Amino acid sequence: MNVVIPTEEKQMQHIKEKVRSGERLSHEDGVFLYRSDDLLTIGQMANEANLRKNGRKVYFIENMSLYFTNVCEAHCAFCNFRKDEGAEGAYTLSGPEMIEYVEQHFHPGVREFHIVGGHNNHVPFQYYVDSLKALHERYPDVTLKAYTAAEIDFFSRISGLSYSEVLQELMKAGLKSLTGGGAEILSDEYRRKMKVNKADVSQYLDVHRTAHNLGLRTHTTMLYGSVEKHEDRIHHMMQIRELQDETNGFLVFIPLSMQPISPKASIRRRNSAFEDLKTIAISRLMLDNFQHIKAYFINIGTQLTQVSLTMGASDVHGTIVKERISHAAGALTPEGITRDDLIWLVKGAGRIPVERDTFYNEVKVYE
Protein backbone atom coordinates (compact mmCIF):
# COMPACT_ATOMS: atom_id res chain seq x y z
CA MET A 1 0.00 0.00 0.00
CA ASN A 2 1.35 3.46 -0.97
CA VAL A 3 1.32 6.11 1.76
CA VAL A 4 0.63 9.56 0.32
CA ILE A 5 2.37 12.34 2.22
CA PRO A 6 0.47 15.63 1.93
CA THR A 7 2.35 18.33 0.02
CA GLU A 8 2.30 20.67 3.06
CA GLU A 9 3.93 18.04 5.24
CA LYS A 10 6.57 17.45 2.56
CA GLN A 11 7.34 21.15 2.30
CA MET A 12 7.64 21.52 6.09
CA GLN A 13 9.98 18.52 6.14
CA HIS A 14 12.06 20.09 3.36
CA ILE A 15 12.34 23.36 5.35
CA LYS A 16 13.32 21.39 8.48
CA GLU A 17 16.14 19.74 6.53
CA LYS A 18 17.30 23.13 5.25
CA VAL A 19 17.34 24.58 8.79
CA ARG A 20 19.25 21.55 10.14
CA SER A 21 21.88 21.77 7.42
CA GLY A 22 22.20 25.56 7.69
CA GLU A 23 20.84 26.11 4.18
CA ARG A 24 19.28 29.52 3.52
CA LEU A 25 15.46 29.69 3.32
CA SER A 26 13.83 31.12 0.20
CA HIS A 27 11.00 33.63 -0.21
CA GLU A 28 8.69 30.69 -0.94
CA ASP A 29 9.77 28.96 2.29
CA GLY A 30 9.05 32.09 4.36
CA VAL A 31 5.58 32.59 2.88
CA PHE A 32 4.79 28.89 3.43
CA LEU A 33 5.75 29.21 7.12
CA TYR A 34 3.49 32.25 7.54
CA ARG A 35 0.57 30.35 6.00
CA SER A 36 1.14 27.27 8.12
CA ASP A 37 -0.67 26.93 11.45
CA ASP A 38 1.98 24.54 12.80
CA LEU A 39 3.39 27.08 15.25
CA LEU A 40 5.10 24.44 17.39
CA THR A 41 7.18 23.07 14.52
CA ILE A 42 8.08 26.59 13.34
CA GLY A 43 9.01 27.54 16.91
CA GLN A 44 11.10 24.39 17.40
CA MET A 45 13.08 25.09 14.22
CA ALA A 46 13.66 28.72 15.30
CA ASN A 47 14.71 27.55 18.76
CA GLU A 48 17.20 25.14 17.21
CA ALA A 49 18.61 27.91 14.98
CA ASN A 50 18.91 30.30 17.92
CA LEU A 51 20.56 27.76 20.23
CA ARG A 52 23.20 27.16 17.56
CA LYS A 53 23.97 30.89 17.48
CA ASN A 54 23.57 31.97 21.10
CA GLY A 55 23.28 28.90 23.29
CA ARG A 56 20.92 29.54 26.21
CA LYS A 57 22.00 33.16 26.68
CA VAL A 58 19.40 35.95 26.42
CA TYR A 59 20.56 39.57 26.35
CA PHE A 60 19.24 42.82 27.84
CA ILE A 61 20.53 46.33 28.51
CA GLU A 62 19.96 49.04 31.09
CA ASN A 63 18.75 51.87 28.85
CA MET A 64 16.60 54.98 28.76
CA SER A 65 14.35 56.08 25.92
CA LEU A 66 14.57 59.82 25.18
CA TYR A 67 12.51 61.98 22.82
CA PHE A 68 13.80 65.50 22.05
CA THR A 69 10.70 66.54 20.10
CA ASN A 70 7.31 65.17 19.02
CA VAL A 71 6.78 67.84 16.34
CA CYS A 72 6.83 66.10 12.96
CA GLU A 73 6.29 67.06 9.33
CA ALA A 74 5.28 63.49 8.40
CA HIS A 75 1.71 62.19 8.81
CA CYS A 76 2.17 58.40 8.86
CA ALA A 77 -1.19 56.66 9.24
CA PHE A 78 -0.06 54.43 12.13
CA CYS A 79 1.51 57.17 14.30
CA ASN A 80 -0.18 58.78 17.29
CA PHE A 81 3.04 60.25 18.74
CA ARG A 82 3.50 63.14 16.27
CA LYS A 83 2.15 66.68 16.78
CA ASP A 84 2.01 69.82 14.66
CA GLU A 85 4.06 72.81 15.82
CA GLY A 86 1.94 74.82 18.27
CA ALA A 87 -0.61 72.02 18.84
CA GLU A 88 -1.62 71.02 22.35
CA GLY A 89 1.00 68.65 23.76
CA ALA A 90 3.66 69.56 21.17
CA TYR A 91 7.16 70.07 22.58
CA THR A 92 10.77 70.58 21.51
CA LEU A 93 13.29 70.28 24.33
CA SER A 94 16.64 72.01 24.41
CA GLY A 95 19.75 70.08 25.42
CA PRO A 96 19.65 71.47 28.99
CA GLU A 97 15.92 70.60 29.28
CA MET A 98 16.60 67.03 28.18
CA ILE A 99 19.45 66.77 30.69
CA GLU A 100 17.10 68.00 33.42
CA TYR A 101 14.66 65.19 32.46
CA VAL A 102 17.47 62.60 32.46
CA GLU A 103 18.72 63.77 35.87
CA GLN A 104 15.29 62.96 37.34
CA HIS A 105 15.33 59.36 36.07
CA PHE A 106 19.00 58.46 35.69
CA HIS A 107 20.83 55.89 37.77
CA PRO A 108 24.46 54.76 37.43
CA GLY A 109 23.53 51.43 35.77
CA VAL A 110 22.21 53.09 32.60
CA ARG A 111 24.48 52.23 29.66
CA GLU A 112 22.52 53.54 26.68
CA PHE A 113 20.29 56.41 25.64
CA HIS A 114 17.84 55.32 22.94
CA ILE A 115 16.92 58.57 21.16
CA VAL A 116 14.23 59.05 18.52
CA GLY A 117 11.67 61.75 17.79
CA GLY A 118 9.68 63.72 15.27
CA HIS A 119 10.94 65.21 12.01
CA ASN A 120 10.77 68.77 13.30
CA ASN A 121 11.52 71.15 10.41
CA HIS A 122 11.04 74.22 12.65
CA VAL A 123 14.56 73.75 14.03
CA PRO A 124 17.82 73.41 12.03
CA PHE A 125 19.96 70.29 11.74
CA GLN A 126 22.38 71.87 14.22
CA TYR A 127 19.69 71.51 16.92
CA TYR A 128 19.88 67.71 16.58
CA VAL A 129 23.69 67.79 16.65
CA ASP A 130 23.78 70.06 19.71
CA SER A 131 21.23 67.88 21.53
CA LEU A 132 23.52 64.86 21.24
CA LYS A 133 26.56 66.91 22.15
CA ALA A 134 24.90 68.15 25.36
CA LEU A 135 24.07 64.60 26.44
CA HIS A 136 27.49 63.25 25.49
CA GLU A 137 29.28 65.97 27.46
CA ARG A 138 27.14 65.37 30.55
CA TYR A 139 27.14 61.54 30.31
CA PRO A 140 30.32 60.56 28.43
CA ASP A 141 30.11 56.91 29.50
CA VAL A 142 26.56 56.35 28.21
CA THR A 143 26.31 55.15 24.59
CA LEU A 144 24.23 57.37 22.31
CA LYS A 145 22.07 55.17 20.09
CA ALA A 146 20.21 57.90 18.29
CA TYR A 147 17.89 58.62 15.37
CA THR A 148 16.30 56.40 12.75
CA ALA A 149 17.35 56.09 9.11
CA ALA A 150 14.27 58.18 8.28
CA GLU A 151 15.53 60.92 10.62
CA ILE A 152 18.96 60.82 8.96
CA ASP A 153 17.27 61.23 5.56
CA PHE A 154 15.25 64.16 7.00
CA PHE A 155 18.44 65.78 8.40
CA SER A 156 20.03 65.41 4.96
CA ARG A 157 17.09 67.23 3.35
CA ILE A 158 17.00 70.14 5.81
CA SER A 159 20.79 70.59 5.89
CA GLY A 160 21.72 69.96 2.26
CA LEU A 161 24.39 67.51 3.47
CA SER A 162 24.85 63.96 2.19
CA TYR A 163 23.99 60.97 4.41
CA SER A 164 27.69 60.46 5.03
CA GLU A 165 28.22 64.11 6.02
CA VAL A 166 25.16 64.08 8.33
CA LEU A 167 26.36 60.92 10.05
CA GLN A 168 29.90 62.21 10.45
CA GLU A 169 28.63 65.42 12.10
CA LEU A 170 26.52 63.36 14.50
CA MET A 171 29.43 60.99 15.21
CA LYS A 172 31.58 64.00 16.15
CA ALA A 173 28.82 64.95 18.62
CA GLY A 174 28.90 61.48 20.21
CA LEU A 175 26.67 59.22 18.06
CA LYS A 176 27.69 55.55 18.35
CA SER A 177 24.78 53.66 16.73
CA LEU A 178 21.52 54.20 14.84
CA THR A 179 18.14 52.95 16.07
CA GLY A 180 16.14 50.63 13.82
CA GLY A 181 12.92 52.60 13.35
CA GLY A 182 11.55 54.08 10.14
CA ALA A 183 11.62 50.77 8.26
CA GLU A 184 7.92 49.98 8.82
CA ILE A 185 7.42 47.58 5.86
CA LEU A 186 10.02 47.93 3.11
CA SER A 187 7.52 48.10 0.27
CA ASP A 188 6.73 51.18 -1.81
CA GLU A 189 3.08 50.06 -2.16
CA TYR A 190 2.75 49.73 1.62
CA ARG A 191 4.31 53.15 2.12
CA ARG A 192 1.80 54.72 -0.27
CA LYS A 193 -1.16 53.06 1.46
CA MET A 194 0.02 53.97 4.96
CA LYS A 195 1.06 57.54 3.98
CA VAL A 196 4.65 56.95 5.05
CA ASN A 197 5.82 60.30 3.72
CA LYS A 198 9.40 59.97 4.90
CA ALA A 199 12.43 57.95 3.68
CA ASP A 200 11.47 55.44 1.01
CA VAL A 201 12.73 51.84 0.80
CA SER A 202 15.98 52.56 -1.03
CA GLN A 203 16.72 55.59 1.18
CA TYR A 204 16.19 53.58 4.38
CA LEU A 205 18.58 50.90 3.18
CA ASP A 206 21.10 53.40 1.87
CA VAL A 207 21.30 55.26 5.19
CA HIS A 208 22.16 52.00 6.97
CA ARG A 209 24.62 51.03 4.22
CA THR A 210 26.33 54.41 4.61
CA ALA A 211 26.40 54.10 8.41
CA HIS A 212 27.92 50.61 8.18
CA ASN A 213 30.57 51.84 5.75
CA LEU A 214 31.48 54.57 8.28
CA GLY A 215 31.98 51.89 10.94
CA LEU A 216 28.66 52.24 12.79
CA ARG A 217 26.81 49.08 13.82
CA THR A 218 23.04 49.64 13.64
CA HIS A 219 19.64 48.14 14.46
CA THR A 220 16.71 47.43 12.16
CA THR A 221 12.98 46.81 12.57
CA MET A 222 9.80 45.65 10.86
CA LEU A 223 6.42 47.09 11.87
CA TYR A 224 3.88 44.38 11.01
CA GLY A 225 0.16 43.83 11.36
CA SER A 226 -1.64 46.42 9.23
CA VAL A 227 -2.25 46.31 5.47
CA GLU A 228 0.80 44.31 4.37
CA LYS A 229 0.66 40.74 3.07
CA HIS A 230 2.82 37.86 4.30
CA GLU A 231 4.78 38.16 1.05
CA ASP A 232 5.60 41.78 1.98
CA ARG A 233 7.00 40.75 5.36
CA ILE A 234 9.22 38.09 3.81
CA HIS A 235 10.38 40.48 1.10
CA HIS A 236 11.21 43.00 3.86
CA MET A 237 13.35 40.40 5.66
CA MET A 238 15.10 39.41 2.45
CA GLN A 239 16.07 43.01 1.64
CA ILE A 240 17.51 43.40 5.13
CA ARG A 241 19.26 40.02 4.77
CA GLU A 242 20.86 41.11 1.47
CA LEU A 243 22.20 44.31 3.04
CA GLN A 244 23.58 42.30 5.95
CA ASP A 245 25.33 40.01 3.45
CA GLU A 246 26.91 43.13 1.96
CA THR A 247 27.96 45.01 5.12
CA ASN A 248 27.49 42.80 8.21
CA GLY A 249 26.60 46.03 10.01
CA PHE A 250 23.31 45.12 11.73
CA LEU A 251 23.40 44.04 15.37
CA VAL A 252 19.80 42.85 15.74
CA PHE A 253 16.45 42.55 13.97
CA ILE A 254 13.40 43.81 15.87
CA PRO A 255 9.90 42.76 14.77
CA LEU A 256 7.47 45.41 16.06
CA SER A 257 3.84 44.39 16.52
CA MET A 258 1.51 47.16 15.27
CA GLN A 259 -0.45 48.86 18.05
CA PRO A 260 -3.99 50.24 17.54
CA ILE A 261 -4.52 53.98 18.00
CA SER A 262 -6.52 53.55 21.21
CA PRO A 263 -5.61 51.50 24.31
CA LYS A 264 -9.35 50.67 24.48
CA ALA A 265 -9.28 49.06 21.01
CA SER A 266 -10.71 45.56 20.97
CA ILE A 267 -8.61 42.41 20.82
CA ARG A 268 -9.59 42.09 17.15
CA ARG A 269 -7.65 45.29 16.37
CA ARG A 270 -4.40 43.82 17.66
CA ASN A 271 -2.08 41.15 16.32
CA SER A 272 -2.80 37.75 17.83
CA ALA A 273 -0.28 36.11 20.16
CA PHE A 274 -0.05 33.37 17.52
CA GLU A 275 0.98 35.92 14.85
CA ASP A 276 3.50 37.63 17.14
CA LEU A 277 5.26 34.38 18.05
CA LYS A 278 5.20 33.18 14.46
CA THR A 279 6.78 36.43 13.26
CA ILE A 280 9.62 36.19 15.79
CA ALA A 281 10.26 32.55 14.86
CA ILE A 282 10.14 33.18 11.10
CA SER A 283 12.46 36.18 11.53
CA ARG A 284 14.99 33.88 13.22
CA LEU A 285 14.70 31.34 10.41
CA MET A 286 14.88 33.80 7.50
CA LEU A 287 17.64 36.05 8.91
CA ASP A 288 20.40 33.48 9.12
CA ASN A 289 23.09 36.21 8.99
CA PHE A 290 21.76 38.09 12.05
CA GLN A 291 23.12 37.17 15.46
CA HIS A 292 20.04 38.35 17.38
CA ILE A 293 16.27 38.62 17.06
CA LYS A 294 14.64 40.86 19.66
CA ALA A 295 11.36 40.25 21.47
CA TYR A 296 10.10 43.77 22.20
CA PHE A 297 8.05 43.46 25.41
CA ILE A 298 6.62 46.96 24.98
CA ASN A 299 4.55 45.70 22.02
CA ILE A 300 3.91 42.03 22.82
CA GLY A 301 3.89 42.03 26.63
CA THR A 302 6.24 40.43 29.13
CA GLN A 303 4.68 36.96 29.23
CA LEU A 304 4.66 36.53 25.44
CA THR A 305 8.24 37.81 25.45
CA GLN A 306 9.09 35.00 27.85
CA VAL A 307 7.50 32.38 25.57
CA SER A 308 9.35 33.83 22.55
CA LEU A 309 12.68 32.89 24.16
CA THR A 310 11.98 29.27 23.19
CA MET A 311 10.94 30.36 19.67
CA GLY A 312 14.00 32.12 18.35
CA ALA A 313 14.38 35.36 20.35
CA SER A 314 17.72 36.01 22.07
CA ASP A 315 17.20 39.58 23.28
CA VAL A 316 14.53 41.16 25.51
CA HIS A 317 15.52 44.79 24.89
CA GLY A 318 16.04 46.76 28.09
CA THR A 319 14.71 48.64 31.06
CA ILE A 320 13.64 51.68 28.92
CA VAL A 321 12.30 53.71 31.95
CA LYS A 322 9.48 55.47 30.04
CA GLU A 323 8.51 54.49 26.50
CA ARG A 324 6.22 56.89 24.60
CA ILE A 325 5.77 56.02 20.93
CA SER A 326 4.07 52.60 21.21
CA HIS A 327 2.09 53.83 24.22
CA ALA A 328 0.85 56.84 22.26
CA ALA A 329 -0.41 54.28 19.74
CA GLY A 330 -2.31 52.16 22.26
CA ALA A 331 0.19 49.74 23.82
CA LEU A 332 -1.17 48.12 26.99
CA THR A 333 2.21 47.03 28.35
CA PRO A 334 4.44 48.61 31.05
CA GLU A 335 6.35 51.74 29.99
CA GLY A 336 9.50 50.27 31.50
CA ILE A 337 10.73 47.32 33.55
CA THR A 338 13.37 46.77 36.22
CA ARG A 339 16.57 44.84 35.78
CA ASP A 340 15.41 42.30 38.40
CA ASP A 341 12.16 41.71 36.50
CA LEU A 342 14.04 41.19 33.22
CA ILE A 343 16.34 38.67 34.92
CA TRP A 344 13.34 36.88 36.45
CA LEU A 345 11.58 36.83 33.07
CA VAL A 346 14.57 35.26 31.30
CA LYS A 347 15.30 32.72 34.04
CA GLY A 348 11.63 31.75 34.05
CA ALA A 349 12.07 30.54 30.46
CA GLY A 350 15.01 28.36 31.50
CA ARG A 351 17.53 30.71 29.89
CA ILE A 352 20.62 32.58 31.12
CA PRO A 353 20.18 36.38 31.44
CA VAL A 354 23.14 38.41 30.17
CA GLU A 355 23.42 42.13 30.73
CA ARG A 356 25.03 43.66 27.63
CA ASP A 357 26.15 46.96 26.20
CA THR A 358 24.82 48.44 22.94
CA PHE A 359 27.16 46.23 20.89
CA TYR A 360 26.33 42.95 22.64
CA ASN A 361 29.52 42.86 24.66
CA GLU A 362 28.72 40.96 27.86
CA VAL A 363 28.69 43.08 31.01
CA LYS A 364 27.42 40.47 33.48
CA VAL A 365 26.10 36.92 33.16
CA TYR A 366 23.40 35.98 35.71
CA GLU A 367 23.91 32.21 36.00
79 known member of a binding site: yes
Three-state SS for the chain is: CCCCCCHHHHHHHHHHHHHHHCCCCCHHHHHHHHHCCCHHHHHHHHHHHHHHHHCCEEEEECEEEECCECECCCCCCCCCCCECCCCCCCCECCHHHHHHHHHHHCCCCCCEEEECCCCCCCCCHHHHHHHHHHHHHHCCCCEEEECCHHHHHHHHHHHCCCHHHHHHHHHHHCEEECCCCCCCCCCHHHHHHCCCCCCCHHHHHHHHHHHHHCCCCEEEEEEECCCCCHHHHHHHHHHHHHHHHHHCCEEEEEEEECCCCCCCCCHHHCCCHHHHHHHHHHHHHHCCCCCEEECCHHHHCHHHHHHHCCCCCCEEEECCCCCCHHHHCCCCCCCCCCHHHHHHHHHHCCCEEEEECCCCCEEEECC
76 known member of a binding site: yes
253 known member of a binding site: no
Which amino acids are annotated as binding site for [4Fe-4S] cluster, given as ranges?
72, 76, 79
Which amino acids are annotated as binding site, given as ranges?
72, 76, 79
